[in-house]
A and B are shown apart, each in its own frame.
Chain A
Amino acid sequence: MHTFVGAVLRVTGFTLSNVHNFVKAMDLELMDAINARGLTKRYGDTLALDRLDLAIAPGEVYGYLGPNGAGKTTTIRLLLGLHRPTGGHATLFGVDAWRDPVTAHRRVAYVAGEPALWPSLTGAETLHFLARLHGHTDRAYRDELIARFELDPRKKVRALSKGNRQKVQLIAALATRADLLIFDEPTSGLDPLMEVEFRHCAEEAKARGQTILLSSHILSEVEALCDRVGILRRGRLVDEGTLAQLRHLRGQTVEVTFVGPAPTMPALPGVSVQRVGDNGLRFQITEGVGPVIAALAGHPVAALISREPSLEEIFLHHYAEPETGERDGNSADVTANG
């Protein structure tokens, strides 16, 4: 029986090693660009990152948000294997960057929040050196980027402003055309025109299928570029999902203006009510709009506006609120959904 099946498979050119290679290829294809499991970092007494689970698929653009000191840069340093995890582990395209940084970094380009460059080298020398270290650079694209970012490559790094040093890093990273781009506040110090240029470059990278991890404070940038967003607070990922999911889960705001004074509303589950002037009420709704509509029936409504929260509102909501068990429960749900 076995010999028969074997013969058939051989005839059809289907061998076990073929199957193995095929599955391996599939596996690589499906492997996350970034994967972190229980990633934890402690500096002395400070818990900088607390059991982070993160999975970013190839081609995805992921916005990483959080207030100062939330652990964004720590996460990136752990992902790159620059700092050693206290617990858990992280992989870039299946390679643990702590164990094998050389293999992992071949597919990665990184822009640090604080440019770490050589003061005595000029911009052109720095780009040349970083390209040699990385091993792969698209020279034509690099020259195009120098022109687009209006960098003077003859200037020494020590004479460059923060924004111009940031440009050197950005050009070096983008010109590698690496599969994964890790950006830590890439536009800090850039003027608005250059910010727009960066956004164009990131969109082009996204169109080419490059993966981007974008740690940023600039919410409009994240909103415009990112497929998914994670919000970090005191070392914990408190919320994660697509922008639509986050908006949905954070509920919506309904503002109602009445003809005459606003009536008193009964207590509704999952709804908070706020008075706006004499004639208006603002409903913050987390469950569904049904109970509010039902409660409004019979009252003289002049106008009704419903809107989803902006990213800024979601962001502020997380930052302002004290940490609670409930929030953690929510975040676990979201992670499971996302």
Chain B
Amino acid sequence: MAEPAAALPTARGRTGVLAALARQALRDARARTVVFAYLFAVYAYIQPVGYRHTYPTDASRRAFAESFAGNPGLRLLYGQPDQIDTTAGYTAWRVGGVLAIAAAAYGLLAAVRAGRAEEESGRTEVVLAAPVSRATANTAGLLAIAAGIALLWVAEFVGLIAASIPAGGAAYFALATAMTAAVFTGIGALAGQLVPTRRSALGLGAATLGVLFLLRTLADTVSGAGWLRWATSLGWAELLRPLTDPAPLVLLLPLLTTGLLIAVAAGLARRRDIGAGLLPRRDSADPHLWLLGSSIAQALRGQARVIIAWLAATAAFMTILGVVSHSLSTADVPENVQRQIAKLGSGSIVTPTGYLAFLFFFVALAICLFVCTQIGTLREDEEQHLESVLAQPVARWRWLGGRLILTAIAAAAIALAAGIAAWVGATAAGVRVPLPSLLEAGANALPVAMLFLGLGGLVYALVPRVAAGIMYGLVAVAFLWQLVGALIGPPRWVLDLSPFAHLALVPSQPFQPVSAGVLAAVGLVGAIGALAAFSHRDIAGP
């Protein structure tokens, strides 16, 4: 039944081209999609199971629920709690908020990849030089993303079903998460039309995610600001109230928004030149010779914008959260409930100090993610221009060492900015907490970041192509290990496998020099190994 080869293009026509392009895009995204799907399934499964294990009786669940009615600390991360004295309510609360952010990241990455990275690499030009219309190429990219999101939906659904959540509720819940991915696909598609490079489109998308997350945070933590939930797509996922009190009409919001964003993006795509963005760009400039004296100086020049964005975002978040810390008090939380909260691995988060300490746990996570982004740029820079640097009298260890040191310094700056900003916010709200103890809290977040930096350098030196992916995975697994593990209560040594388990909750707990020293020392050994391994491998050319 094989058709003659020459007849293929005409016989299969537009749908054949569409399918071929979509298949290629799917193949391109398979690693990322599989990792996300795995994360979704495991996380959706483990939360309801852990809850039933930790709070087996109605009484314990009620006590747990009461303690959270007034706790903005956890709302910040997981969103507005609803009926968390039931497995369904707890699951919706713990799974929904976190997976919504993960889904947003997936949609953003996929859309920027399809809409901008392909074009920046010149591949779009090759495709469009063939008898393929822009609309077909665009549709194929979107189809592939839709298939990826569908897979994430299946993963979350399966995870929930496996944890005995009713099928109907699980399907609707997974749909709420998938909708966030869809909205961010639209945001990524639009960002890709506005700016001409993958990096800047991702930056624009990430900034949007940051603002929407901040809006949700304010809606969930500041009394009277609940209406803000309507203004952020991350809030819509909460307003859908999966598993507890479904409001399916809200689905119209993400559906319409996604459609609108994608239509606008497609409209813009038809109007502009391939390879260009819609925002004007300067292609000529007078020479600025600052920070061009050495390869490390030039690296700082190249990364300056990214580092400043991280500093600004950290400072903004920590200032706001510092203000929020004021609203916490221990007066109305019974002691047994406090013990339960402590089991979450978050210490005593019902006091301002405890809450701030809990926040710095997340600062540590953020800095680790910053380290991962920097490991990712090492590979990009290697492919783009490293050959030109190393063909000069520049030692390899100097280049890689310089980049690792630069990342370490930037991480330290972010940590200190977090400390200062939290102090400013808390002080402004009238919480008495000394600046040095919050600076200490910031510094305390560094050793674990140094560990991942050293390991990241080593992984980059050994397997550059997949280094960033491996490091994001390691950080995510280590962090969830700590968050989820503490809830289920496995043996101590299992928990200790995560570097985050060795993070003292400064300032509510004293700084632990031995743990911090060990984490940093492992990082240092990794970095030294990285320099040794890096001088023994082939450098990738452009």
Chain A residues in contact with chain B, CB under 8 A? 73, 77, 80, 82-84, 101-103, 105-106, 108, 110, 112, 114-122, 124-125, 128-130, 132-135, 152-156, 158-159, 169
Using a CB–CB cutoff of 8 Å, the interface residues on chain B facing chain A are 197, 282-289, 292-295, 298, 302, 384-396, 536-539, 541-542
Q: List 5 A-B contacts (CB under 8 A).
A: A84-B538, A103-B393, A110-B391, A117-B384, A128-B289
Q: Which residues of B contact A83 (CB under 8 A)?
A: 538-539
Determine if A118 and B302 form an interchain contact, defined as CB atoms under 8 angstroms apart. yes
A92 to B396, CA, bound (A): 18
Chain B min CB distance to A69 (Å): 14
Residue with the highest number of chain B CB atoms closer than 10 Å, among A82, A152, A158: A82
Judge whether B390 and A82 touch: CB under 8 Å. yes
Q: What's the minimum C-beta distance from B490 to chain A, rounded to whole angstroms?
A: 42
Contact A115 B542 (CB under 8 A): yes
Question: Which residues of the other chain, A, contact B197 by a CB distance below 8 angstroms?
Answer: 119
Query: What's the least CB distance linking A132 to chain B, in Å?
Result: 5
Residue of A73, A84, A101, A116 near B384 (CB, 8 A) is A116
Give, as a whole number of angstroms, the nearest-CB distance from B201 to chain A. 15
Could you tell me the distance between the alpha carbons of A120 and B291 in the complex, rounded to whole angstroms? 13
Residue of A112, A120, A158 near B541 (CB, 8 A) is A112
Given contact pairs A105-B392, A122-B284, A125-B287, A117 touches B385 in the complex (Cβ within 8 A): yes
Contact of A156 among B283, B387, B388 (CB under 8 A): B283
How many inter-chain residue pairs (CB < 8 Å) link A and B?
102
**A169 and B284 alpha carbons, distance in the complex (Å):** 18
Contact (Cβ within 8 A) A159 B385: no
Flag if B394 contacts A133 (CB, 8 Å).
yes
The distance in angstroms between the C-alpha atoms of A169 and B388, with both chains bound, is: 9
A108 CA to B391 CA, complexed, in Å: 8
Query: Would you give the shortest CB distance from B300 to chain A, in whole angstroms?
Result: 13
Secondary structure of the B side of the interface? loop
Given A77-B541, A82-B539, A116 contacting B387 (CB threshold 8 A): yes
Given the contacts A83-B538, A115-B542, A159 and B283 also touching, CB distance less than 8 Å: yes
Q: From B290, which residue of chain A is reached at the shortest CB distance?
A: A125
Docked complex Cα distance between A130 and B539 (Å): 18
A120–B283 alpha-carbon span in the complex (Å): 9
Among A120, A124, A152, point to the contact of B302 (Cβ < 8 A).
A120
On whether the beta carbons of A84 and B392 are closer than 8 Å, the reply is no
- Which residue of chain B has the shortest Cβ distance to A114 in the bound complex? B542
Per the bound structure, the CA–CA distance linking A84 and B298 in Å amounts to 26
A189 to B33 alpha-carbon distance, docked (Å): 39
Q: In the complex, what residues of B have CB within 8 A of residue A101's CB?
A: 390, 393-396
In the complex, what residues of B have CB within 8 A of residue A120's CB?
302
Q: Tell me which residues across on chain B come within 8 A of A114, comparing CB atoms.
A: 541-542
CB A331 to nearest CB in B, in angstroms, measures: 27
Q: Distance in Å from the Cβ of B291 to the closest Cβ of chain A? A: 9
Verify B292–A129 contact, CB threshold 8 A. yes
Known: A118-B302, A128-B289. A154 touches B284 (CB 8 A): yes
The 7 closest A-B pairs by CB, nearest first: A159-B283, A133-B392, A124-B287, A110-B391, A83-B538, A105-B393, A129-B292
Decide: A154 and B286 in contact? CB cutoff 8 A: yes
With both beta carbons as reference points, the residue of chain A lying nearest to B539 in the complex is identified as: A82
Question: Is B392 touching A156 in the complex (CB atoms < 8 A)?
Answer: no
Q: Which residue of A lies closest to B284 (CB)?
A: A154
Pair B390/A117 contact, Cβ less than 8 Å: no
Query: How far, in Å, is B382 (CB) from chain A's closest CB?
Result: 10
Contact A156 B284 (CB under 8 A): yes
Query: Which of A105, A122, A129 is close to B391, meaning CB atoms less than 8 Å apart?
Result: A105
A102 to B392, CA, bound (A): 7
CB distance from A66 to the nearest CB of B (A): 17
Minimum CB distance partner of B196 in chain A: A158
When distances are taken between beta carbons in the complex, the residues of chain A under 8 Å from B542 are 112, 114-116
Q: With A82-B538, A83-B538 in contact, do A134 and B390 touch (Cβ < 8 Å)?
A: no
Q: How far is the CA of A114 from the CA of B391 in the complex (A)?
A: 14
A112 close to B283 (CB less than 8 A): no
> Cα distance A135–B395 when bound, in Å?
13
Other than the known A133-B394, A152-B284, what 15 A-B pairs have Cβ atoms closer than 8 Å? A82-B390, A101-B395, A116-B385, A116-B387, A116-B541, A122-B287, A125-B287, A125-B292, A129-B292, A130-B388, A133-B294, A133-B393, A155-B284, A156-B283, A159-B283
